[in-house]
Structure 1
Amino acid sequence: MVVGDVTTGTDVLIIGAGPAGYVAAIRAGQLDLDVTLVEKDAYGGTCLNDGCIPSKALITATDVAHEAGNAEEMGIHADPAVDLAKMMDWKDDVVGQLTGGVEKLCKANGVNLLEGTATFADENTVRVSHSGEGQGSETLEFEHAIVATGSRPIQIPGFDYSDEPVLDSTQALALDSVPDSMVIVGAGYIGMELAGVYAKLGTDVTVIEMLDSILPGYDDDLKRPVKQRANDLGIDFHFGYAASEWSETGDGIQVVAEPAEQAAADGGQAEAVEDEALELDAEKVLVAVGREPVSDTLDLEEAGVETDDRGFIQTDSRTRSNVEHILAVGDVAGEPMLAHKGSTEGQVAAEVIAGEPSAVDYQAMPAAVFTEPEIGTVGMSEAEAEEAGFETAVGKFPFRASGRALTTGESDGFVKIVADDEQGYVLGAQIVGPEASELVAELGLAIELGATLEDVASTVHTHPTLSEAVMEAAENALGHAIHTLNR
């Protein structure tokens, strides 16, 4: 302890107020624990301020503009004018409403809010440095700690986010003008979502990717409609290339991409289509090659907390690190980096500290990609189920056979259900199409409850709705779908 420091104590110290941290704080407050939540930037973390919420706001806004300008077959002729400044103001208002709500909820549940940066001094003490000249620091002793410091964009050599033409995802969500052209490095979910946003705003978008396809980790049949829609938007792709450098030109920048000779792709190899380097002219370059945990700023070694070689804090099913009274939740605790996964872990961590028999069950953890069309998945894929030893029953229903999908003008994609053939239990689902992120929740519930194909198929769904596709996919797996041919 530094002489002159103020030392205070708390039952539960939580470092980071993103979806994992603030949920842990609120739940711990509900359980009558004395809770202190330390945040250095903004309540709500990356998700609310710089990620999930602002990106979905811009996706929605650009979708509205694009659909209005491309609805001739419905008899609608329009040429929307986009006011980007006004769009960004609206996005910021949404963010402000949610982050303000987080702060109010924390206070209402008795959480002590502390602004600053926390670092471990030992396994029961942190020092909190306050920002601003003359603000100083203080020492905080705790019985339990929850690390929820999240993640940050990975930076690749030669592309410094402090250089004006080089953007990370946060900066790409706050531009004050629409770039004429943009190179996006990385075709994962962040790169693909933002490629769609800027293509719909009129930007000439080029995506370069080290691997051999978009959205690594997703099945080809899910990716195919997304790639086709991106092509329809005029997005260009170069697979098997890695960005190596950029330089200024007379009217913008030039990005150089070298062949990635042996880039791993879902267990395979990706090879460049051409042997020569690419030289791509653009106004901006967005680097979206993934995220890394924020664990190197915490002095974890002082508390004896171990990380893996990527910097993730290893935890058990009860979110405990190797130091039992120090827990970790959210992105800093490992893949998948999903806000709802972090929130679930945050609730579990608070309940574990309170002595409840709580643990995280990842079996029905959904994931979504907000591309056009959307992708939603939960549970096992067909290949994963077979690898786990199940004899599978698979049902599929195309949105082109859905009356409601046709009336929305969005009929690409399908619902696919994977079940255990012997017992009929739903094991997983993959959806690509309109509102996939919403529809997948029904199948997550089915997995959580141990529902069978018969349960889903016999549940009456409102007509006409997109959710009927879920019912029909279950019926297809049983061999008696009405509106599509059965296998």
Structure 2
Amino acid sequence: MQILKTKVLIIGAGTGGYVAGIRCGQLGLETVLVDGGDGLGGTCLNVGCIPSKAIIHAAAKYETVTKAAGDGTLGITASAPAIDLSKTVEWKDGIVRKLNTGVAALLKKAKVKVIKGWATFQDAKTCRVETEDGPVTITAEHVILATGSEPVELPFLPFGGDVISSTEALSLDAVPGRLVVVGGGYIGLELGIAYRKLGAEVAIVEMADRILPLYDKALTDPVHKWLERHGVQLFLGARAGGFGDGALSITTKDGEPLSIPADKVLVTVGRKPRTSGWGLENMGVAMAGPFVKVDDRCATSMRNVWAVGDLTGEPMLAHKGSAQGEMVAEIIAGKDRRFDPVTIAAVCFTEPEIVSAGLGPLDVEGRDDVIQSVFPLAAIGRALAIEAGEDGGFVRVIASKSDHRILGLQAVGQHVAELSNSFAQMLEMGAVLEDVAGVIHVHPTLGEAFHEASLRALGHAIHI
């Protein structure tokens, strides 16, 4: 058996783990990174963020050509398109391979030793990794846990066959004729909308009374309207049951049993931290419910054992994991760091897209010390010029009434995901309304809506 000793051992090669590894290498820390199976880049790069956005992009192109067929659109006409999903998936896989190669090169440049295999901990600082070349025992001074998360499986809808998770939904070889999505959160809606654009008949079953229940109704209404316009069946306040004989059993909001025909059932009821199967119980770390408990340095209750990313709790977002991984590497190298962001912006790549950062209307409900201002994308020239101004989209600013400090920013509309970094930056810098109003925003861009919303909050918007 091979035995390795290292300064830093990282378990998990996702966005938290590999970023931690690169930063450790840059800081001169001897580092071993164990990749447990998803591949370099983890869930996000291999079966999550990147491949899903590739499929969403392909679906949008297909929809555009479909619109041009028949009477045409914008003066453009085309023949009716066809989709070979296997070739689309092959293109998507090529993007993933390219990014895998890039991450591998960055880790190599940082002199990080990558070991492919499944790690099992015997104690807090020692693990055994089963590799193709045999077992390897690794002991480390510091351990960074970055094992990520996995889809939640319903006991009455176990994954397998035609009951699939988001992972399988990104690698289908053909567009299903009838797709039923169980779960109306962002993952289910992103994929459900994409497959509707590709021609599938889509139904969504959601326990809550509306889609995307974690967002306020004004933000989700444009998405709801898109679903209705495009013939997506919505079963809200409904509970899913078993699947058999090509149909999913559900109980409607009124308590009536119903059977929905389905070629595939996509279950997207959430994700859970990957805490089983690698010996967490042998490490002696404290838990916070299903998550590993960490402080504001991402330190666990065990000395020199750290945890980052989805393992540490909400929000379960790739960019949070990356920021935590980078921070922990710097702490191990002796720097004084804390994880205390003002906000972690989130994006739903639905149709239209949704962005949220900081406080929302539900967080300030009933308060009379805040200003809320909304500016419609329909009043923005760039939005109209790219067909993004007629779906009810808007930018919203929430600020303190007393000092005009910006407390929250939201947007819904086509392509508004690109506003997310500007939103996060302004909140992180402690900007006030006058800061945004004083920036000369480029014309024509969607960012002008942010400018106008801030001006409107100050009482002098120009274009409304």
Decide: shared fold, TM above 0.5. yes
The residue number in structure 2 matching 1:235 is: 232
Q: 1:6 aligns with which of 2, 5, 10?
A: 2
Quick check: 1:150 aligned with 2:148? yes
Structure 1 residue ranges without an equivalent (≥5): 260-271
The residue number in structure 1 matching 2:335 is: 356
Contact 2:216-2:362 within 8 A present in 1 as well: no
Range with bigger deviation, 73-82 or 202-211: 73-82
Contact 1:382-1:392 within 8 A present in 2 as well: no
**Matched residue of 1:481: which SS?**
coil
Contact 1:385-1:427 within 8 A present in 2 as well: no
The one-letter amino acid paired with 2:74 is M
**Matched residue of 2:446: which SS?**
coil
Contact 1:386-1:392 within 8 A present in 2 as well: no
Contact 1:37-1:111 within 8 A present in 2 as well: yes
Contact 2:216-2:361 within 8 A present in 1 as well: no
* Deviation readout 1:398-437 (Å, 9 max, x if unpaired): 0011111011111121000111111111111010012221
The one-letter amino acid paired with 1:404 is R
Stretches (4+) displaced over 4 A? none
* Deviation readout 1:139-173 (Å, 9 max, x if unpaired): 111111110010111110122222x2111101000
The residue number in structure 2 matching 1:469 is: 449
The one-letter amino acid paired with 2:17 is G
CA positional deviation for 1:349: 1.2
**Matched residue of 2:321: which SS?**
helix
CA positional deviation for 1:83: 2.4
The CA distance in 2 between the partners of 1:324 and 1:406, in whole Å, is 56
**Matched residue of 2:292: which SS?**
coil
The CA distance in 1 between the partners of 2:249 and 2:372, in whole Å, is 44
The residue number in structure 2 matching 1:379 is: 358
The residue number in structure 1 matching 2:378 is: 400
**Matched residue of 1:177: which SS?**
coil
**Matched residue of 2:288: which SS?**
coil
Contact 1:300-1:306 within 8 A present in 2 as well: no
CA positional deviation for 1:382: 3.4
CA positional deviation for 1:73: 4.6
The CA distance in 1 between the partners of 2:281 and 2:274, in whole Å, is 14
The one-letter amino acid paired with 1:294 is R
Contact 2:144-2:306 within 8 A present in 1 as well: yes
* Deviation readout 1:272-301 (Å, 9 max, x if unpaired): 1x2211111111111111111101122122
The residue number in structure 1 matching 2:11 is: 15
* Aligned length, in residue pairs: 457
The CA distance in 1 between the partners of 2:382 and 2:204, in whole Å, is 33
Cα RMSD (Å) of the superposition? 1.4
CA positional deviation for 1:385: 4.2
* Deviation readout 1:316-336 (Å, 9 max, x if unpaired): 111111113111111111111
The residue number in structure 2 matching 1:33 is: 29
The residue number in structure 2 matching 1:265 is: none
Quick check: 1:278 aligned with 2:290? no
Q: 1:139 aligns with which of 137, 140, 165?
A: 137
The CA distance in 1 between the partners of 2:93 and 2:420, in whole Å, is 28
**Matched residue of 1:384: which SS?**
coil
Contact 1:116-1:128 within 8 A present in 2 as well: yes
TM score, norm. by length of structure 1? 0.91
Contact 1:68-1:76 within 8 A present in 2 as well: no
**Matched residue of 1:149: which SS?**
coil
Contact 1:16-1:37 within 8 A present in 2 as well: yes
The residue number in structure 2 matching 1:74 is: 74
Structure 2 residue ranges without an equivalent (≥5): none
Quick check: 1:183 aligned with 2:172? no
Contact 1:390-1:420 within 8 A present in 2 as well: no
Give percent identity, aligned residues only: 44
CA positional deviation for 1:364: 2.1
The residue number in structure 2 matching 1:174 is: 171
Contact 1:69-1:77 within 8 A present in 2 as well: no
CA positional deviation for 1:456: 0.4
* Deviation readout 1:192-218 (Å, 9 max, x if unpaired): 001111101110001101111111210
The residue number in structure 2 matching 1:255 is: 248
